[in-house]
Amino acid sequence: MRAILLLACVAACAAPDAGFSPAAFDRVQPELFETPGAQSNSWIDYDGDGDLDLFVALRDQPNRMFRNDGARGDGGPAWTFTDVTAESGIGDPRRTVGVAWFDYDRDGDLDIFVATYGPDVLWRNNGDGTFTDLTDPVTLGVDYHSTSAVWGDVDHNGLPDLVVTSYLSGIAAVEDHLFMSAGGGRFHNALPASLLEHGPSHGVAWADFDGDGDLDLSIANNHETGGTHHLYRNLLDAGAAARSLQVVAVDATGRSVVPGAEVQLLDSASGELLGTRLIDTGGGYCSQGAAPAHFGLPPGVERVDVRVTFVADGRRSTVVREGVLPADYQGRWLTVPAHDQKR
């Protein structure tokens, strides 16, 4: 009897769980996508047509932009992407590793910075599906074998700042960069002495881990013996740190963050656009970013209007929260669900 029970148990345990189906995947356009040397995937609705497009950073070939053209239904591929690298203008041949999207010039569209094994590149989004190389005018084209980059407003003056990490194999002392925005599209490297205790770096991520409102920094240094991993707490004074708002976009159930959503903040009094952010939990390279979009607020801004645009099903749907008082959200995030979307 014991043997029969054991056999029955073995048979039952080996049977597939009725709650799961075997995973199945279809290779989408392998002739288009399957290129060696890719480093980073970055999803964004770059052309504003309501679906997520794919930017792929490649180390040994020009970067590529793939436009999502949706389902065909004409007997062709079930889903179709088109390589728009040439027409977008961002097929730069430099050896790219990290990617960071951010509206650096605050004109409402997302620009792109790529960290490369060579001079880094900032591309301004022209708003029509094309990009312009702005590296030289904004002095961000460092040549330090860069690996990753993350944008964030470090000092809450409303202007975006940028951390770029660098790596050289086998060398412990490789300098990272903190580019503080000086306004007018100008930046200067202002890496504080405390961040000079460096190592060759890969991952970098902002997160307000202490909940005081400003962005803190973790840098993953990976030299075998001379590198040291660092966690840095932002020492902005309490009053300035509190001038901030963090917004997260979630789905209609309120449980899942929606990467690819875009968040804009406007001054309620003047209507001025204060910034645009991408909900991008996997930006940069070798790191998972924190979910909320972080906004530092310049002095004088009291209430803000929050616009969250969800990208799905071939349309962009925007939820608006008017007259938000950032002080009401100190130490927590403003969570905006997609359930009451407006077209």
In the block, tokens 């997260």 appear at: 248
Per CB under 5 A, the segment of 33-41, 97-105, 247-255, 298-306 that binds Ca ion is: 97-105
> CA-CA distance, 43 to 51, in Å (whole number)?
10
Shortest Å, Cβ 108 to Ca ion: 7
> CA-CA distance, 247 to 55, in Å (whole number)?
24
Tell me the per-residue interface mask from 263 to 302 with Ca ion, x by CB under 5 A, - otherwise.
----------------------------------------
Q: Determine whether 30 is exposed, middle or buried from the number of CB atoms within 10 Å of its CB (0-12, 13-18, 19+).
A: exposed
Residue 49 sits in the site that holds Ca ion (CB under 5 A): yes
Among 210, 237, 313, 340, binds Ca ion (CB under 5 A): 210
Shortest Å, Cβ 227 to Ca ion: 24
Among 39, 40, 157, 221, binds Ca ion (CB under 5 A): 157
> CA-CA distance, 172 to 49, in Å (whole number)?
45
Shortest Å, Cβ 18 to Ca ion: 38
Per CB under 5 A, the segment of 220-228, 234-242, 243-251, 264-272 that binds Ca ion is: 234-242
> Which residue, 159 or 258, is less far from Ca ion as judged by CB?
159
Size of the site for Ca ion (CB under 5 A): 22
Shortest Å, Cβ 105 to Ca ion: 5
Residue 262 sits in the site that holds Ca ion (CB under 5 A): no
Per CB under 5 A, the segment of 27-35, 118-126, 248-256, 333-341 that binds Ca ion is: 118-126
Which of 231, 223, 212, 237 is closest to 331 using CA atoms?
212
Which of 159, 193, 160 is closest to 176 using CA atoms?
193
Query: Which residues from 310-339 bind Ca ion, rule CB under 5 A?
Result: none
Per CB under 5 A, the segment of 19-27, 99-107, 170-178, 189-197 that binds Ca ion is: 99-107
Shortest Å, Cβ 153 to Ca ion: 4
> CA-CA distance, 315 to 48, in Å (whole number)?
9
> How many residues would you count in the chain?
343
- Long-range pairs for 52-61 at CB < 8 Å and ≥24 separation? 52/260, 52/311, 53/81, 54/81, 55/90, 55/99, 55/112, 57/96, 57/97, 57/98, 57/99, 57/114, 58/96, 59/95, 59/96, 59/97, 59/117, 60/36, 60/95, 61/35, 61/37, 61/93
Binding residues (CB under 5 A) for Ca ion: these are 45, 47, 49, 51, 53, 103, 105, 107, 109, 111, 125, 153, 155, 157, 159, 161, 208, 210, 212, 214, 216, 234
